[in-house]
Amino acid sequence: MEKYKLTVNGEMREVTIDPGTPLLWVLREDLKMTGTKYGCGISACGACTVHLAGVATRSCVLPISLVGGRPIVTIEGIGQDRVGRAVQDAWVTEDVVQCGYCQSGQIMSAVALLKSRPKPSDIDIERSMGGNICRCGTYVRIRKAIKAAARQLA
Amino acid sequence: MVCSDRIRRWFVVLMTITWMVWPGTRSVAQTDEKSSTTSREAGLAAWQQVYSVLTYPRCVNCHTATNYPQQGDDRHRHLFNVVRGPGGKGVPGLNCATCHQSANADSTGVPGAHNWHLAPLSMKWQDENDSILSSADVCRSVTNNGLDGPGILRHHEQEPLVLWAFQPGRRRDGTQRSLPPLTHAQFVAATRTWVDAGTPCPQNP
């Protein structure tokens, strides 16, 4: 067991845990931040996506020992960000969610996309969101909401 | 005069011995001095050793001719809809760094090293049908990409992703990833011999 200091959504948090523990479980079990979801555990579905120093990152395969001093932003904190707020608003306006399980990961990836590509094309969206799986098939509404957020941010 | 010659001769002998027993003193720049002593045949033989490493799955999986990386010893298409992206580092929201960190994550089975990315298409070592390029073609690709001999040697000695191939970590099930056919030291030694011979390339049959 080792002690780690993490910056999560702007707040300093401290945990004592096995170095191999994935960040996802630190967030969910130790910090009780359950907005980030466990889907596949092998980075295949994207449900566990968080931002690590601004990079969309699969928290289910990231051992806590490799986080270092990089700030973490989760779905609980993304709304404090201008782009994050716009994406969340668009998600509500476009009524994207069906069961909702994958949507925190979808939103985190969408925010990462819009921060790099303020006006993404359909291909940009398909490629960037291609690692986030939605079993309800809300892909069309996701694309619509990303474009709506892009328009709002323009 | 005689004494001065003797001192000079001893000095040369001493420097030669130091160079032979202390590999650290053999800098990349010194390889040029040896070029006259390494034959083309020896260089070509060394290249074949280098080629055996470059075309091993650990290396060729990121030296693809495709719009995506490959994975595993069978070089299957990278899962999770990963694409090359404009800079070989994926696309926003799905970068290489989305999963690959600066070191192997043995507890979760994800390999990692500093600046994980695909080699540019100009450094592809396979064709579009997933067949490994010939020794002659890979050699030409390596020698026509802006690095001179010492630069190639330095790349093979120091580049984190090259070093990773020799310490590729464990798979998710805990088993060790397979290793290239040479050790890193052997790979660097073969590269040095090839560079010393003037980076000769074989001809396609």
Q: Residue B124 is part of which domain span?
A: 40-196
Q: Domain total for chain B?
A: 1
Judge if A145 and A84 occupy the same domain: yes
What's the pLDDT at B28?
40
Confirm whether B151 is domain-assigned.
Answer: yes
Burial class (CB in 10 A: 0-12, 13-18, 19+), B157: middle
The closest of B119, B118, B124, B139 to B52, measured between CA atoms, is B139
Judge if A91 and A130 occupy the same domain: yes
Identity of the residue numbered B6: R
* B14 vs A6, higher pLDDT: A6
The closest of A116, A110, A152 to A129, measured between CA atoms, is A110
How many of the other CB atoms lie within 10 Å of CB of B164? Answer: 21
Judge if A19 and A85 occupy the same domain: no
Quickly state the pLDDT bin for A89 (edges 50, 70, 90). very high
Q: Is the pLDDT of residue A8 over 60?
A: yes
Confirm whether B33 is domain-assigned.
Answer: no
The closest of A11, A2, A76, A3 to A37, measured between CA atoms, is A76
Q: What is the CATH number of the domain that holds A87?
A: 1.10.150.120
The predicted-structure confidence for A25-44, as pLDDT tens digits, reads as follows: 999 999 999 999 999 999 99
Q: Give B80's contacts (C-beta < 8 A, 6+ positions apart).
A: A43, A44, A130, A131, B94, B99
At B175, phi and psi to the nearest 5?
A: -80, 155
Judge if A21 and A66 occupy the same domain: yes
* B3 vs A20, higher pLDDT: A20
At B61, phi and psi to the nearest 5?
A: -60, -25
Confirm whether B84 is domain-assigned.
Answer: yes
What's the pLDDT at B21?
39
CA distance B178 to chain A (A): 20
Q: Among A46, A73, A100, which residue terminates a domain? A: A73
Asked if B104 contacts B112 with a C-beta cutoff of 8 angstroms, the reply is yes
What's the pLDDT at B37?
82
Judge if A57 and A107 occupy the same domain: no
CA distance A1 to chain B (A): 14
Q: Residue A18 is part of which domain span?
A: 2-73
Residues of chain B contacting residue A131, judged by C-beta atoms under 8 Å apart: 80-82, 93-94, 98
Chain A residues whose C-beta is within 8 A of a chain B C-beta are 19-22, 42-44, 49, 55-58, 60-63, 66, 109-110, 112-113, 115-117, 124, 127-132
Q: Is the pLDDT of residue A109 over 70?
A: yes
The predicted-structure confidence for A63-84, as pLDDT tens digits, reads as follows: 999 999 999 999 999 999 999 9
Residues of chain B contacting residue A119, judged by C-beta atoms under 8 Å apart: none
| B57-92 CB burial, b ≥16 within 10 A, e <16 | bbbbbbbbebebbbbeeebeebebbbbbbeebbbbb
Judge if A105 and A142 occupy the same domain: yes
Judge if A27 and A91 occupy the same domain: no
Q: Do B83 and A113 touch (CB under 8 A)?
A: no
Judge if A93 and A65 occupy the same domain: no
Judge if A84 and A128 occupy the same domain: yes
What's the pLDDT at A110?
98
Which residue reads 């926003």 in tokens?
A: B92
Q: Domain total for chain A?
A: 2
> Nearest-5° angle of CA A118, CA A38, CA A76?
50
Judge if A91 and A137 occupy the same domain: yes
Judge if A63 and A96 occupy the same domain: no
Q: For A113, which of B92, B105, B112 is closest by C-beta distance? A: B92
Whole-prediction pTM value? 0.86
Judge if A149 and A95 occupy the same domain: yes
pLDDT in tens, chain B (205 residues): 444 555 555 544 444 444 443 443 333 434 444 445 889 999 999 999 999 999 999 999 999 999 999 999 999 999 999 999 999 999 999 999 999 999 999 999 999 999 999 999 999 999 999 999 999 999 999 999 889 999 999 999 999 999 999 999 999 999 999 999 999 999 999 999 999 999 999 998 8
- Where do the H-state alpha helices sit in chain B? 2-21, 31-34, 40-54, 57-60, 135-143, 149-158, 160-166, 184-196
Q: What is the CATH number of the domain that holds A61?
A: 3.10.20.30
Q: Give A8's contacts (C-beta < 8 A, 6+ positions apart).
A: A27, A31, A33, A71, A72, A73, A74, A77
Confirm whether B168 is domain-assigned.
Answer: yes
Residues of chain B contacting residue A146, judged by C-beta atoms under 8 Å apart: none
Confirm whether B203 is domain-assigned.
Answer: no
Confirm whether B26 is domain-assigned.
Answer: no
> Model ipTM?
0.94
